Structure 1
Amino acid sequence: MFNQNYERGTGFPTIYKAMENNGSPKPVFETDQQSTYFLATLPAHPASVSAAVNNLVVREDNGQYFNPLAALIGFTNQATNQATNQAREILEKYVHARVGEMLNNLEHYMSRADLFRQMELSNQKYNRKKYLDPLIESGWVQMEYPDKKTNPNQRYKITLSGRRLLQLINLQ
């Protein structure tokens, strides 16, 4: 697209001319008032974009085939798996390893005694402080009677943000 010969001060005009001759959209050059950065955007020719979309398998110069959709799916899966693993590691390090199990059990309001029985934990203050309180403080579990924490009928349930977290850690 561009001639390899370069003379001082001819860069922008050369780019504009080559893109115009090619039928490509005009390039966009950006900078800030202090000239702390320079960004050049060279939009792809519309025909090349539609060809790539219509022809999902593209032959590369080295003879290998590249499927952009498959690459995108692979990248997304890899990123999701990495995020899931990182979320689990963070939860295990800073909260506890049973977050997912606890959130899964709290789909509907449940008493602490029933929750701990389900998880095979004793209903003690120590277990409440270790397992339940951090999830309440993080906003992943809500109390049925938040104004009276010691209500004998107190029950607990997963929140919307707890559901989002649960979806993230249950991806694998």
Structure 2
Amino acid sequence: MTVLTDSSKELRLRRINRVRTIRGSLAIEGNNLSEEQITAILDGKRVIAPPREIQEVRNAIAAYDRFDDWSVESEADLKDAHGVLMAGLIDEVGMYRRSGVGVIAGERVIHMAPPADRVPALMQDLFSWLGATEDHPLIVSSVFHYEFEFIHPFADGNGRMGRLWQTLILKGWNPLVADIPVESLVFEHQEEYYDALQQSTNNADSAPFIEFMLRMVLNAVSSATPQVDPYVTPQVKALIEAISGEMSRDELQTALSLKDRKSFRELYLKPALEEGLVEMTIPDKPNSRNQKYRLTEKGQLAVYI
């Protein structure tokens, strides 16, 4: 009975987060439908609202339902996803743009995209990099998102496509990320989102945008799992930055240049374990002489912030 109850709670949480994600991504693009209205559409109920906004929600629901069909390294799948996400909204679905476009926030021009004739080659280069890079998926997803927005390959829908593909890349790292409402936090920090894009473009350096997106991912993980505090002490921060793969207690103390075992345990190891940033390799035998420690997914997130 407990297993069934826990499963029901998990499905309900995933559903709530999916609605929040869809609302956040579409709200950035000017869609005014509420979470209640999106939930009603998800349930197949009638909603009184502008037809275009209803279509946007239906498309987003269909796109997230297709996640398992698409490969992040496939340019053809990216175009297919655009076709699903923008069906009935524009004529040029699933194909790269044939004219100039820009990123505009209100009356402010954030970025003028490269000429349309350069898009195919730029996108091919981006996917070649995506298939070859060995960087951490947290970094890779953010870099891809920024470069995608810089190229702005489609006539419309680039913002929601960039966020969708970043989520898909992160899903390959950890399937749970697909159900964490990162996009709702991006919407809440919309000005920072555009500022990070503009700053990265002005500096010819994607670092500001990467830092912003990583902060949104960490905050989303924390809000979805509120028992984990993202604000760690300097000691815990030093510990998680020192961990590489699986390490024993002695190896960790050596890496941190610490000799006092009690101090290491109380100030470094114990808080990191309690915060869910570090886990034991043999959790059922905490005092085993073969015990080692490694970062959890949340710990890996915290390292990059």
Please report the TM-score for the alignment, with normalisation by the length of structure 1: 0.50
Pick the structure with greater CA Rg.
1
Between Structure 1 and Structure 2, the one with more helix by share is 2
Between Structure 1 and Structure 2, the one with more strand by share is 1
